[in-house]
Structure 1
Amino acid sequence: MSNIQYVGMTVADMEQSIKFYSEVLSFQKIKDLEVWGEDWEKLQGVFGLRMRVVQMQLGEEVIALMEYLTPKGRPIPIDSRSNDRWFQHIAIVVTDMDKAYEHLRQYNFQHTSTSPRQLPEWNQKLGGVKAFYFKDPDGHNLELIAFPADKADDKWLKQPDKLFLGIDHSAVGVKNAEASFALYRDRLNLELMLQAENYGTEFEHITCVFGSRVQVNSMKGSAGIGFELLEYIAPTTGRNMPVDSQANDLWHYQTVIAVSNLSTIAEQLRSAPCQFISPGIVKMSNSELGFSQALAIRDLDGHVLHLVEE
C-alpha cells in the first residue's frame, strides 16, 4: 500500500500564506502546531529547527504549509522556470476555468501562464483539459485544472455549485522518467496510469517555456492524490535541483506517502536510486501529524519524499 497523503511546502510568512490559500483558493485551516526536537531535526535534515506546520484542506485533500521559525532558508530563485528540475506543483481542480481566473485576478498573485489555455482535441489523452499555471506569494508553483466530462474523475462531477473542488495531483520535473520508475513504480508501488505527450502553442503558453514538449507520466497509489513525472523532451535547458538544497529553503516541497511496511521498504531503498535524508527510520516523539515513524529521502532529481507509517 502506498497512499499519497499530501504535499508540504516551506513558506516565508505563515500568516500571509494562510490568507492566500484560504481567501484566494478556498482552503480551510484544519491543524496548526509547532514542532521541534531531535526527531524532527533528523527527519527534515535541518539542525536546530523549530517549525510551524499548518494543514489546509480543500475538498477531501490536504496541503501542509511549513514556516521555519529557525533556521531560515533561501528564497525561490526569481528566474525559476517550469522546466527546472526543482519544479513541483499541486493541481487544483475547478469547475469553471474562466470564473476561477477572474476570481484570481482580484488578488495579488504571480502569473506563469499567459492565460488559461485548453489543450487541443488532437491530443487524444489530454485534449479538452484547461490549465493555468501561477504562483503563490513565495513563488510556489500552482495549477488550476478543469476537466471535460469525459476525462474527469467522478468525484469532480459531484459538486457543480463549487468553484474550487480539491487537489487532483502533484507533479515534479524529472530528467529521465524511465530511470525514476525504478523508485516510484518498482520500490514505492505507484501504478503508471497514463503516459502522454504535451506540446504545441497552447501548452507552451501554459508552461511559459518556448518549445515545450513534455512526456507526462501519471502515477497513482492505492489511495490519495495522483503524482506526475514530467520529463521535458524539449527544451533540455532545465537546471538541476541545487545540490545543497535544504528543507528550510522555500523551493522545498515534501510529498508525504503513507505505507504499511516501512521497515521493509527502508531496506529495499538502500539499493534504490535515491538518497537518504534521515539516517534511517525516525521514531517520532508524538503522532500529532498522523504518523509515529517516518523516513525522508530524495529521488534522482532531488525531490523529497516522506514515507510515513501510523
Structure 2
Amino acid sequence: MRALIGFGRTVADLAVTEAFYRDGLGFARIAPPEPLPPAQAEAMGLGDRRATQLRMRLGAQTVTFLTVDPPGAPYPADPAATDPFFQHLAIPVRDMAAAMAQLAPLSPIPISRGGPQRLPESTGGVTAYKFRDPDGHPLELIVFPGGPPADRWREAPGLFLGIDHSAITVTDLEATLAFLTGPLGLTLAERGLNQGPEQARLDGLDDPQVDVLALEPSEPVPHVELLHYRVPATERRLVFGPADRAATRYVFGATDLDRLFATDRPESPRLRISADRTAAYCSGPGGHGFLFLRN
C-alpha cells in the first residue's frame, strides 16, 4: 500500500520560507523547526550534515521545507518551465484576484507573462498563474471552472484551498510513466497536449507544446502530473541531491519499504533504506526525489 502523503523542498532560510508561504499563500506551521529525523537523514544521504525541517500545511496537505548545513548547490540561474528539475505545487484558490492581491506584497518571481491565464476549454478551461518562491521553486495558483476537479474543493475553507497536485517536467516520458505506474502504483487518469498562446503565456515560453499527464494514487488529491515539453526542448541535464537548493521530493507512505522495488527493471532506480527500515529515498528517472516513510 502506497499513498502520496506530502511534498518536500530544500530551501536556504526557513524563516524567509515560512513568511512567504504563511503570509502569501495561507500555509500554517505544523511544528516549529526541528531536526530532520535520523532515519530520513540516513536515507537521504544527509547523515553527515545538519538538516533542519519545517513542516507546514495548507488544508489537508503537507509540505516539509528543509535546510542543510553545509548547504549544497545553489538554485540554477535563469530557470525555465522546461528544466528537468522543475516541480511545482498547484494550489486551487477560491478567487484568483483576491489570491493575487494577497500574494503581491511578497513580490513573487513571475513565470507567467501577463498575469493569470484562462486556458482553452479543450485543455481544461482552467485559469492559472505560475510564479516562484524566494528560493526559485515554482508554484501555481489555479481556478477550476467546474466538473470533478472543482467539486473536490467545493467544501474546502478559505481563499487558498490546499494542494491539488504537484507537476514535474520530464525528458523521458515513458520511463517516468513506467516508474510511477509500476513500482509506485499510480493510475494514468488523463492525458492531453497543451499548446497555443495561452499556454505560452502561462509557462513563460515561446510556442510550447507540452504533454500533460495526470496520474492518481489511491486518493485523487493530491495527485501527480507529468509535463513533457515536445517544444522547446531543454539542453539542461543537471543532477541534484537532497542538499541542493533545487531539490524537491514527493513523500509517500508505504507499508513495506523493502518490497518497493522488487525487480531490477531499468525504470526502478536504486533505493536507499535506513537501518531501522522506516525511511527510504530514491531518485526517479528524471532525477526528481521520492521519499518513502513506513506507515
Alpha-carbon contact 2:118-2:125 (below 8 Å) kept: yes
Aligned partner (choices 240, 246, 249) of residue 254 of structure 1: 249
For 1:253 and 1:35, how far apart are their aligned partners in 2?
A: 15
Aligned to 1:237: 234
For 1:176 and 1:36, how far apart are their aligned partners in 2?
A: 33
Quick check: 1:127 aligned with 2:138?
no
Specify whether residues 235 and 158 from structure 1 end up closer, same or farther in structure 2 by C-alpha distance, changes over 3 A only.
Answer: same
Structure with bigger strand share is 1
Following superposition, the deviation at residue 274 of structure 1 comes to: 3.9
Tell me the number of residue pairs that the alignment of Structure 1 and Structure 2 aligns: 292
Quick check: 1:264 aligned with 2:259?
yes
Following superposition, the deviation at residue 308 of structure 1 comes to: 2.0
Structure 1 window deviating more from structure 2 (58-67 vs 230-239): it is 230-239
Quick check: 1:225 aligned with 2:219?
no
Following superposition, the deviation at residue 40 of structure 1 comes to: 4.1
Aligned to 1:109: 108
Instruction: Provide the TM-score with structure 1 as the length reference.
Output: 0.89
Secondary structure class of the residue paired with 1:263: helix
Alpha-carbon contact 2:26-2:160 (below 8 Å) kept: yes
Aligned to 1:35: 36
For 1:193 and 1:98, how far apart are their aligned partners in 2?
A: 30
State the Cα deviation string for residues 213-250 of structure 1 (Å, max 9, x = none): 1101101111351101111111113522x23x221111
Following superposition, the deviation at residue 163 of structure 1 comes to: 1.2
Aligned partner (choices 150, 153, 167) of residue 171 of structure 1: 167
Structure 1 window deviating more from structure 2 (44-53 vs 79-88): it is 44-53
Alpha-carbon contact 2:112-2:202 (below 8 Å) kept: yes
State the Cα deviation string for residues 81-131 of structure 1 (Å, max 9, x = none): 00010111110110111221222222221111111001012x1xx332011
Following superposition, the deviation at residue 78 of structure 1 comes to: 2.1
Secondary structure class of the residue paired with 2:30: strand
Which stretches of structure 1, 4 residues or more, deviate above 3 A after TM superposition? none
Secondary structure class of the residue paired with 1:78: coil
Could you list the runs of 5+ residues in structure 1 that have no partner in the other structure? 285-291
Instruction: Provide the TM-score with structure 2 as the length reference.
Output: 0.93
Aligned to 2:207: 211
For 1:192 and 1:75, how far apart are their aligned partners in 2?
A: 34
Quick check: 1:294 aligned with 2:295?
no
For 1:134 and 1:63, how far apart are their aligned partners in 2?
A: 17
Could you list the runs of 5+ residues in structure 2 that have no partner in the other structure? none
Amino acid at match of 2:158: K
For 1:36 and 1:103, how far apart are their aligned partners in 2?
A: 34
Alpha-carbon contact 2:41-2:51 (below 8 Å) kept: no
Aligned to 2:136: 139
Following superposition, the deviation at residue 150 of structure 1 comes to: 2.2
Aligned to 1:4: 4
- Root mean square deviation of aligned Cα: 1.7
Following superposition, the deviation at residue 71 of structure 1 comes to: 1.7
Aligned to 1:288: none
